Amino acid sequence: MSAADKVKPAASPASEDPSAIAGNISYHAQYSPHFSPLAFGPEQAFYATAESVRDHLLQRWNDTYLHFHKTDPKQTYYLSMEYLQGRALTNAVGNLAITGAYADALKKFGYELEAIAGQERDAALGNGGLGRLASCFLDSMATLNLPSWGYGLRYRYGLFKQRIAKEGQEEIAEDWLDKFSPWEIVRHDVVYPIRFFGHVEISPDGKRKWAGGEVLNALAYDVPIPGYKTKNAISLRLWDATATAEDFNLFQFNDGQYESAAQLHSRAQQICAVLYPGDATEEGKLLRLKQQYFLCSASLQDIIFRFKERKADRVSGKWSEFPSKVAVQMNDTHPTLAIPELMRLLMDVEGLGWDEAWAVTNKTVAYTNHTVLPEALEKWSQAVMKKLLPRHMEIIEEIDKRFREMVISTRKDMEGKIESMRVLDNNPEKPVVRMANLCVVAGHTVNGVAELHSNILKQELFADYVSIWPNKFQNKTNGITPRRWLRFCNPELSEIVTKWLKTDQWTSNLDLLTGLRKFADDEKLHAEWAAAKLASKKRLAKHVLDVTGVTIDPDSLFDIQIKRIHEYKRQLMNILGAVYRYKKLKEMSAADRQKVTPRTVMVGGKAFATYTNAKRIVKLVNDVGAVVNNDADVNKYLKVVFIPNYNVSVAEVLIPGSELSQHISTAGMEASGTSNMKFSLNGCVIIGTLDGANVEIREEVGQDNFFLFGAKADQVAGLRKDRENGLFKPDPRFEEAKQFIRSGAFGTYDYTPLLDSLEGNTGFGRGDYFLVGYDFPSYIDAQARVDEAYKDKKKWVKMSILNTAGSGKFSSDRTIDQYAKEIWGISACPVP
């Protein structure tokens, strides 16, 4: 049956009346025809519904654009190589407060909104925390009516899909644009030229200019981002790379040379083909650098265009006004090229001198650091930069030179530090550009993403710069959007919160959650709270059964660790703990087993395709699960499940259903973490180290409602030294767990290299760098405290309530409000 057979099509802009909405959905099914008009299955229903919702979004998006144009406020542009948007339908109708109307409309076709929303593919244009943070920020910017936009790349294939095969993780291209995305609007009127390679020309008057090489086009796709219960909708502008008809060599094509005829077209396609191309090869590195420059150049050309568009007289200059109208935030160092690109555009295109251009650039750009791990700090080969971006390399050299001169002339005492503070590292083996140093030198503000992390930046990584620019450094503790991460993903718990707080205002004022504290011992609340948790656990159990075939018991303790697989995040410690638990269960009498708290340990996350040890960890979790889950002696008390293909929409099912979540990185290594905030908000108790935002979460929810263990950040360096000096005495439980795996208890796969990374000095010459051995005993002890606490149902539910009640601080609305006031200097600009 077609949509029109059920409901008469109506082109009129959808109102909030379910019949009118149904008519509009039917209209889209007929007149935005991507499918045969005869069928109206769930997939067609999704696309027609999304297009109908898009009508609402576009109205707001246009109104907001015009309003910003008219009022000309200072605007923020968030530059990020990653956005992890996930699905958009539930969020869009939720933010527009038309969920009920759309649910009723879909019923007229015999569909449930939830099922139709499940048809949507995740937009996974990011790897993990950094990308998801950018997406939460967009939601908060729109909700706070801030004049701000996001810029990113429109990757053809997002983060790979993970499949678990016999050999472990396999990566498959994630085809999120298969068919099409109903949320993006291609903007054929927004196109900028982007040059690569070429050379620098010097005109007779000494002016330098980049010329030659190859020129591609950046084409804009706009994704409207609605705020929660506001008329504002902002833009996520994603760039795609294209080549023109002029680049197509018709002569060659007619001569049968099809490939060389379309060479530039195929090179354009490579730019946005995938998120994070493998960078083990020189080609891969070059492609990644091209991507970064592509984002920066297209975005800055667009920003300058809009600066001029908003006031006609700006065409002739007024550049000193630029920083009072534009703020550019660089999400980590990935968009660092925004610095030399803005300098180039101002000097070579707009005709400013160095000092003027530098003043404008410095007042415009700011940098967020997301890691202190040395291997994650970007360094680009000077040779590659010179070849791809010769004019930018000149500008970077000049920045480096002037920085050195400034230090030498104003800070004699710092002379010895200059080499490590410089932008250029000229070591003859491999001369590189240090992107983080460039950001610190050129930006007006540098921020970390949690108190502890920002302190480490100030005291260690960037300490020398602090003595030069004491006011440049700030903290902005990360946050998450309470819309997606409680209101929409956990409707059962949301209703309870609203009922007890007697308002749903917490959705945009999360501090109101503290109002739950006074009911923390209320038995009625306890009963409702536990029932909501059980409902979410059942939904989670169904997901696990669907994707793994493993049946898990909703009455067992649901213990979850989901995040990218990385040695510093220590999934290996988690699985060693599960192995130790399994061994003890096996050794126990049947009578003793009955006293054990039944647990389901779930681990999910993707390993970077070339990160061997991370892939071994994935394999180990799967192998342990295969043995434990089929062991009839113990599988009532322990199950171990690897959740495949962890992504945003999987998180939306897992987080509400979890009771204990693991954030167990080596102290000082996890800059912040953000899923820790999502779990806590959903009434899940954390077992964790004093790392990243865990420190602040524990402060907010109370130390009795957090299972703490492990070394502190300031002990780590000393512990590593001790270890090198042979002063470390491993706990027998640690040895026992490793030995059990080595014995082949979990199959024939060779785990020797993985386990050896935890020994003495064998792991890449830095044996057990992440201190699994040191923290293991206190981890096991903390897990034993968890088991005891869970036996006392009342105590556990109270801990759960107090976690939710203490999560108000971690709203990204708070974070973005602080960025707006303390870094960007922008204020709300609501559409009247």
**Is residue 128 part of the contact set for ligand GPW (CB under 6 A)?**
yes
User: Closest separation between CB of residue 277 and ligand GPW, Å?
Assistant: 14
Distance CA 597, CA 608 (A): 34
Contact mark string toward ligand GPW, 360..379, x via CB under 6 A: ----------xx----x---
Q: Which of residues 408-467 bind ligand GPW (CB under 6 A)?
A: 449
**Is residue 692 part of the contact set for ligand GPW (CB under 6 A)?**
yes
Active site residue 566: no
CB within 8 Å of 685: residues ≥ 6 apart:
659, 660, 661, 705, 706, 707, 786, 789, 796, 799, 800, 803
Distance CA 330, CA 366 (A): 6
Contact window for ligand GPW (CB under 6 A) among 127-135, 241-249, 397-405, 524-532: 127-135
Q: Which is nearer to ligand GPW, 133 or 327 (CB)?
A: 133
Give the rounded distance of the alpha carbon of 625 from its chain centre. Answer: 28
Single residue of 240, 670, 696, 700 touching ligand GPW by CB under 6 A: 670
Q: Which of residues 588-607 bind ligand GPW (CB under 6 A)?
A: none
Instruction: Indicate the DSSP class of residue 638.
Output: E
User: Closest separation between CB of residue 121 and ligand GPW, Å?
Assistant: 21
Q: Which is nearer to ligand GPW, 449 or 754 (CB)?
A: 449
User: Closest separation between CB of residue 455 and ligand GPW, Å?
Assistant: 15
Q: Are 323 and 367 in contact (CB under 8 A)?
A: no
User: Closest separation between CB of residue 757 and ligand GPW, Å?
Assistant: 20
Distance CA 718, CA 135 (A): 38
User: Closest separation between CB of residue 800 and ligand GPW, Å?
Assistant: 23
Single residue of 88, 116, 130, 223 touching ligand GPW by CB under 6 A: 130
Single residue of 18, 129, 335, 605 touching ligand GPW by CB under 6 A: 129
Contact window for ligand GPW (CB under 6 A) among 42-50, 121-129, 153-161, 695-703: 121-129
Count of residues making up the chain: 832
Annotated active-site residue in 54, 156, 237, 563: 563
User: Closest separation between CB of residue 142 and ligand GPW, Å?
Assistant: 19
Distance CA 548, CA 604 (A): 12
Q: Are 328 and 303 in contact (CB under 8 A)?
A: yes
Q: Which is nearer to ligand GPW, 378 or 559 (CB)?
A: 378
Distance CA 504, CA 485 (A): 15
Active site residue 325: no
User: Closest separation between CB of residue 127 and ligand GPW, Å?
Assistant: 6
Annotated active-site residue in 445, 548, 674, 804: 674
3-state secondary structure 493-535: HHHHHHHHHCCCHHHCCHHHHHHHHHHCCCHHHHHHHHHHHHH
Annotated active-site residue in 195, 411, 564, 583: 564
Single residue of 52, 76, 127, 561 touching ligand GPW by CB under 6 A: 127
Distance CA 571, CA 446 (A): 31
**Is residue 121 part of the contact set for ligand GPW (CB under 6 A)?**
no
Single residue of 671, 684, 786, 799 touching ligand GPW by CB under 6 A: 671
Contact window for ligand GPW (CB under 6 A) among 124-132, 213-221, 263-271, 682-690: 124-132
User: Closest separation between CB of residue 303 and ligand GPW, Å?
Assistant: 23
Annotated active-site residue in 569, 615, 723, 733: 569
Q: Which is nearer to ligand GPW, 127 or 600 (CB)?
A: 127
Q: Which of residues 732-771 bind ligand GPW (CB under 6 A)?
A: none
Q: Which is nearer to ligand GPW, 128 or 150 (CB)?
A: 128
Contact window for ligand GPW (CB under 6 A) among 64-72, 128-136, 598-606, 720-728: 128-136
Q: Which is nearer to ligand GPW, 141 or 304 (CB)?
A: 141
3-state secondary structure 723-768: HHCCCCCCCHHHHHHHHHHHCCCCCCCCCHHHHHCCCCCCHHHCCC
Q: What is the dihedral of CA 86, 87, 91, 92, to 10 degrees?
A: 120
Contact window for ligand GPW (CB under 6 A) among 123-131, 294-302, 553-561, 592-600: 123-131
Q: Which is nearer to ligand GPW, 490 or 676 (CB)?
A: 676
User: Closest separation between CB of residue 537 and ligand GPW, Å?
Assistant: 26
Token code pair at residue 333: 């160092």
- Residue 66's CB: how many other CB atoms inside 10 A? 11
Contact window for ligand GPW (CB under 6 A) among 102-110, 126-134, 636-644, 793-801: 126-134
CB within 8 Å of 458: residues ≥ 6 apart:
466, 473
Contact mark string toward ligand GPW, 245..284, x via CB under 6 A: ----------------------------------------
Contact window for ligand GPW (CB under 6 A) among 163-171, 489-497, 664-672, 789-797: 664-672
Closest to 642 in 3D by CA, of 580, 696, 701, 578 = 578
User: Closest separation between CB of residue 167 and ligand GPW, Å?
Assistant: 26
Instruction: Indicate the DSSP class of residue 665.
Output: P
**Paired strand residues for 558:** 600
DSSP class per residue in 313-377: GGGG--GGGGGGTEEEEEESSTTTTHHHHHHHIIIIIT---HHHHHHHHHHHEEEE-----GGGS
Q: Which is nearer to ligand GPW, 652 or 670 (CB)?
A: 670
Question: Which conformational region is residue 47 in: left (phi greater than 0), alpha (psi within -120 to 50 degrees), or beta?
Answer: alpha
User: Closest separation between CB of residue 691 and ligand GPW, Å?
Assistant: 9
Measured CA to CA in angstroms, residue 472 lies from 444, 450, 462, 463, 469 at distances of: 6, 16, 11, 11, 6
Contact window for ligand GPW (CB under 6 A) among 63-71, 305-313, 467-475, 670-678: 670-678
Q: Are 480 and 810 in contact (CB under 8 A)?
A: yes
Q: Are 239 and 304 in contact (CB under 8 A)?
A: no
Single residue of 332, 400, 528, 813 touching ligand GPW by CB under 6 A: 332
Q: Which is nearer to ligand GPW, 128 or 491 (CB)?
A: 128
Distance CA 689, CA 770 (A): 12
Contact window for ligand GPW (CB under 6 A) among 27-35, 129-137, 425-433, 502-510: 129-137
3-state secondary structure of 560: strand
Active site residue 363: no
**Is residue 535 part of the contact set for ligand GPW (CB under 6 A)?**
no
Q: Are 675 and 653 in contact (CB under 8 A)?
A: no
Annotated active-site residue in 306, 434, 678, 733: 678
User: Closest separation between CB of residue 434 and ligand GPW, Å?
Assistant: 14
Active site residue 674: yes
Instruction: Indicate the DSSP class of residue 247.
Output: G
Single residue of 75, 85, 135, 478 touching ligand GPW by CB under 6 A: 478
Token code pair at residue 243: 């080549």
**Is the four-CA dihedral 447, 450, 453, 454 of positive or negative sign?**
positive
Give the total of residues touching ligand GPW (CB under 6 A): 17
**Is residue 133 part of the contact set for ligand GPW (CB under 6 A)?**
yes
Residue type, 147: P
User: Closest separation between CB of residue 82 and ligand GPW, Å?
Assistant: 7
Annotated active-site residue in 370, 458, 484, 639: 370
Q: Are 519 and 525 in contact (CB under 8 A)?
A: yes
Measured CA to CA in angstroms, residue 86 lies from 48, 221, 337, 556, 560 at distances of: 19, 17, 27, 29, 20
The residues annotated with a catalytic role in the active site are 370, 563-564, 569, 674, 678
Residues interacting with ligand GPW, by CB under 6 A? 127-130, 133, 332, 370-371, 376, 449, 478, 670-674, 692
